[in-house]
Amino acid sequence: MNLKSIFSNIFSYKPQRKDDFIIPNSPNNVISKEPSEKYVSTEYDKNIKVIKTKYNLLINSDINLHEFEITVSNKKFKACLLFIDGLVNSESINNSILSPLLLRNSIKMSPSQSKVKLLDVKKFDLKDFLLKNIITQNVISIEKEFENIFNKVNSGFCALFVDTLDCCLCIEVKKLEGRSITEPKAENVVRGSHESFVENIRTNTSLLRKIINNENLVIENLNVGKITKTAVALCYMKDITNEDLVSEVKFRINGLNIDSLISSGQLENLIKDDLNNIYPEVIATERPDRTAEFLLGGRVAILVNGSPYSLIVPALLLDFLSSSEDLNLNYFFANFLKVIRVIALFITLLLPSLYIALTIFHDEFLPSELLFAIVAAREKIPFPIIFEILLMEVSFELIREAGIRVPSAFGQAIGIVGALILGEAAVTANIVSPILVIVIALTGISEFAIPDFSFAFSVRIFRFIYIILGYICRSIWNYSWNFHTSLLSFINKIFWCSNTFI
């Protein structure tokens, strides 16, 4: 196996086949058949069998199936509540559902209903009676398909099954635990809002509603993933956003044929035009005020449940160099900062490669004093300049990655140790030159001035490409120049020999 095949196996993308794995539910690797019922049956026992089989109640510890009986005018009906512990509010279930159902063994009916026999289901509607007289919860939906019922139970609903009813009452009793609204960690500002998105999608939509107090703000709900069925919210302004843009975003999201969706970053890579393009095509922001600004500008925002970031489409180059601070400053100051960021972009992208080009190939552009200083600093360095730059760049990336991954208490210490002690030790040991340390430090500082993390990451990749290309182009030029000189010398010799012979 050669080196190319090894890297291809490690880094190449291979789409997953449908027959790559099989779930061995039975000893013979044959998937056991579940009950074929698709709709809720009027027979209580059949519904219980489907529920127990679907949720594996014999081994699942957080799935609660509470069975009981309700009495309506001396007639008893079997009933059960299905909910997931940890996703529901137990107090709401006790006060709004169980207490009205169990504590009222004898319910007085209206005079018109008292004349009707309860056994005649066609005349007496038990479902309406429960909805209008018993249950005191505000959000209730009536479902007949088990798939819809299980989706609601998995999202924090409580399902009420009653004997003789061919439907289920799904009652919202959500209580999703999560962190509270805090300050943004990646997009800090001096003047502006200090609220950030959280992992709960409904909290994020409420933050947008609080900023954009307008009925034209449309928030559509979509589900992505055959297994996870992750909730995705599509946000746009009805009278501002282009309808073709909204249709394109819906088409790309609904066309995803995947099993699971965990985060907004995964969705970003799935809906972009070209997966091989390392430059970002979507803006990811954790700030509700910035998201609202894009919505009012005609963009579309995508929120994913479980992710504290919103995706803004489409994205322009200037958006990656803009910050939420720009809205709160005078436009002179905001434009000045944008110019600074553009300069920082060129510095972090091209400064190391320009250093190689100027010191090796175009040294005539440098002042004599600076050229002498560079030569004197590199006099004791035993390595070529490309090795120095790659060594410092890789070391800088290692320090940055270590500072992010370690606990916050040690992150600052790692940065100080890596930047000061290792850099000073490398200069003292004559491994790198002091001027090169300044170049790499200025390159890293300029990268931190880019507001968008994904865009800065792309610039980091292209910086290495420019460094390698700058050195390779120099080598190619030397090779081509030597070949050209040899060819001219050979031709001159031929002509000289011809003239001598003549």
Mean predicted confidence (pLDDT) in 87-105: 84
Percent of the chain, pLDDT > 90?
Answer: 39
In a domain, 182, yes or no: no
Q: Are residues 337 and 441 in the same domain?
A: yes
Q: Quick one: 394 and 434 in the same domain?
A: yes
Query: Does the pLDDT of residue 111 top 60, yes or no?
Result: no
Q: How far is CA 496 from the centre of its chain?
A: 71
Domain endpoint, select from 293, 328, 363: 328
297 and 319 Cβ atoms separated by less than 8 Å: no
Q: What is the dihedral angle through the alpha carbons of 87, 92, 98, 104, rounded to the nearest 10 degrees?
A: -170
Mean pLDDT along residues 438-459: 90
Residues facing 300 on adjacent strands? 313
The reply to whether 341 and 465 lie within a common domain is yes
Determine the pLDDT at residue 214. 92
CA atoms in the 13 A half-sphere facing the CB of 472: 6
Instruction: Please check whether residues 324 and 338 belong to one and the same domain.
Output: no
Q: Is residue 109 part of a domain?
A: yes
Which residues make Cβ contacts (< 8 Å) with residue 500, sequence separation at least 6?
none
Q: Decide: 142 and 168 in contact? Cβ < 8 Å.
A: yes
pLDDT digits (tens, 9 = 90+) for 32-84: 444 557 899 999 999 999 999 999 888 988 999 999 998 876 788 899 999 99
- Tally of domains within the chain: 3
C-alpha to C-alpha distance for 422 and 428, rounded to whole angstroms: 10
Nearest to 264 by CA among 349, 211, 209, 199: 199
Average of per-residue pLDDT across 324-340: 89
> Does one domain contain both 310 and 335?
no
Does 318 share its domain with 357?
no
Q: Are residues 352 and 439 in the same domain?
A: yes
Residue 370 maps to a domain: yes
Does residue 474 contact residue 305 with C-beta atoms inside 8 Å? no
Residue with tokens 């009495």: 71
Q: Is the per-residue pLDDT at 400 higher than 90? A: no
Please give the structure tokens belonging to residue 426.
Answer: 């490398």
Between 198 and 37, the higher pLDDT residue? 198
Task: List all residues 6 or more positions away from 242 whose beta carbon is below 8 Å from its beta carbon.
Answer: 298
Distance separating alpha carbons of residues 40 and 331, to the nearest angstrom: 62
CA atoms within 13 A on the CB side of 302: 30
Residues 55 and 67 grouped into a single domain: yes
E strand spans, 42-198 = 63-72, 75-84, 140-143, 157-162, 168-172
Q: What angle do CA 261, 267, 268 make, to 5 degrees?
A: 160
- Could you tell me which of 446, 460, 441 has the C-alpha nearest to residue 344? 446
* Residue 274: per-residue pLDDT: 81
**In terms of DSSP H, where are the helices of 231-301?**
243-254, 264-271, 288-296
* Rounded distance between C-alpha atoms, residue 437 and residue 86, angstroms: 54
Q: What whole-number distance in Å separates Cα of residue 475 and Cα of residue 418?
A: 32
* Residue 10: predicted pLDDT: 63
Same-domain check for residues 372 and 458: yes
**Residue 349 lies inside a defined structural domain of this protein:** yes
- Shared-domain flag, residues 356 and 312: no
63 touches 158 (CB < 8 A): no
Predicted TM-score (pTM) of this structure: 0.78
The domain containing residue 163 runs over which residues? Answer: 44-172
Q: Is residue 488 part of a domain?
A: no
Within a domain: 400: yes
Both 306 and 348 in one domain: the answer is no
What are 154-196's pLDDT values in tens digits?
Answer: 988 999 999 999 999 999 998 877 788 888 888 888 888 889 9
pLDDT at 7: 60
Q: How confident is the model at residue 482 (pLDDT cuts 50, 70, 90)?
A: low
Cα 130 from Cα 133, distance rounded (Å): 6
- Answer whether residue 204 shows pLDDT above 50: yes
Domain co-membership, 299 together with 394 = no
Alpha carbon distance 282, 496 (integer Å): 65
Phi, psi of 113 (to 5 degrees): -85, -25
Whether 383 maps to a domain, the answer reads yes
Return the pLDDT at 20.
46
pLDDT attached to residue 359? 83
pLDDT band at 488 (very low <50, low <70, confident <90, very high): very low
pLDDT-derived band at 120, boundaries 50, 70, 90: very low
Task: Identify the pLDDT of residue 248.
Answer: 95
Whether residue 238 is predicted with pLDDT greater than 50 in this model: the reply is yes
390 located within any domain: yes
Please tell me the distance from the alpha carbon of residue 132 to that of residue 110, in angstroms, as a whole number.
12
pLDDT in tens, 264-295: 999 999 998 887 788 889 999 999 999 999 99
Confidence of residue 118 (pLDDT cuts 50, 70, 90): very low
**Average pLDDT value for the chain:** 81
